[in-house]
Structure 1
Amino acid sequence: MRKGVTEDKAVVADILDKAEVVWLALNDDEGPHCVPVNFAVQGDTLFVHSGKRGRKAACLDSGAAMAFSAAVDIELKTSDDNACELGYRFRSVMGNGTPRPLDGDEKLRALDLITLKYAGRSMPYNEKVLAITAAYAIDIRSATARIKE
């Protein structure tokens, strides 16, 4: 395995817990589609939400394999001497999985996890907005973390 890369689930979980955004790499008949989303993770499952219509929702509804990534602790490395020494320090996760739509209590549980991650507490939902909101579980097949110092 490449230097600085690990499959250690504790390292992957730590990075995902600290990440503010996860980038979904999706694909459809129009080609690749990459989109940043709010998310929550629990165990080997990533939870995201979407409107019920649109390209992102269609890709997730398809159940097709997809990928995701996130990065934290991003810090520019500078150099006055050599352009090859420029770069970044970071911790990142890259993974892949299979999305599945959620409904009923599973949907509410996913939305509650996402709300808890960003608001730090449970909050009520606007029923009109809830009716046009989809939630998805992405069952993580594999994920690796990279630590670049």
Structure 2
Amino acid sequence: MREMRLKKREITDPEILREILESCEVVRIGAMDEEGMFIVPMNYGYDVREEDGTLHVCLYLHGAKEGRKAAAFAADPRVAVEMDYNHEVITGDYTCAYSYAYRSIMGNGTITEVTDPEVKKKGLEKIMAHIAPEAKIAFLPEMVERVAVWRIDIDTFTGKERRRK
């Protein structure tokens, strides 16, 4: 994996990386198909575990079983992910001195469709826990059957932060 150019902005603290996963509302998925590269924003849920100081992240997504996104994921399981939050304009004394404060995670992984109904429910529960933790959850079998659930096992990722001065 390529080293980050501005190492001072790299986030390696597992607790801050977990905070980013929890605080972001949308993950942007980069994929490729016969028409070219595309990016799609999606809601997500996640599992994270720490092993020897390294975070292992798995994202869960849901959507229609057909369409460009579903076909692309089936044809080529390699995807890129990006999420960010904590946005704030950093003003400057001149035009090119302006910038933007943020925290982000970017990475690459492998996406697979989840077909086991119990694992699909687990993924849907993770999504709901992230986007609406107060919501009452009840999945009818036909709902679980109708929706596509995907799992992204993130192979590599970096955290980055630009702070206000």
Say yes or no: TM over 0.5: yes
Q: Distance in 2 between matches of 1:8 and 1:140?
A: 17
The 10-residue stretch of structure 1 (121-130 or 22-31) with the greater mean CA deviation from structure 2: 121-130
The whole-number CA distance in structure 1 between the counterparts of 2:42 and 2:99 is: 25
Q: How many residues align?
A: 148
User: In 2, Cα distance between the equivalents of 1:68 and 1:42?
Assistant: 15
Q: Which residue of 1 aligns with 2:127?
A: 114
Deviation at 1:42? 0.7
Match of residue 65, structure 1, among 75, 78, 100: 78
How far 1:62 moved relative to its partner? 2.9
Structure 2 residue matching 1:58: 3-state secondary structure: helix
Question: Do 1:97 and 1:138's aligned partners in 2 also have CA atoms closer than 8 Å?
Answer: yes
What CA distance in whole angstroms lies between the structure 1 residues aligned with 2:140 and 2:95? Answer: 52
SS for the counterpart of 2:138 is coil
Unaligned runs of 5+ in 1: none
Cα distance change on mapping 1:10 and 1:60 into 2, 3 Å: farther
Q: Which residue of 2 aligns with 1:15?
A: 20
Pick which of 31-40 and 5-14 moved more.
Answer: 5-14
1:46 corresponds to which of 59, 64, 68: 59
Structure 2 segments unaligned to the other structure (5+ residues): 49-56
Of 9-18 and 92-101, the range deviating more from structure 2? 9-18
Q: Which moved more, 1:45-54 or 1:59-68?
A: 59-68
Question: 2:37 matched to 1:32?
Answer: yes
1:6 corresponds, among 1, 11, 19, to 11
* Separation in structure 2 between the aligned mates of residue 122 and residue 28 of structure 1, nearest angstrom: 37
CA contact (8 A) 1:63 1:100 kept: no
Q: Which residue of 2 aligns with 1:132?
A: 146
Provide the alpha-carbon RMSD of the alignment.
1.7
Q: Tell me, what secondary structure is at the counterpart of 1:95? A: strand
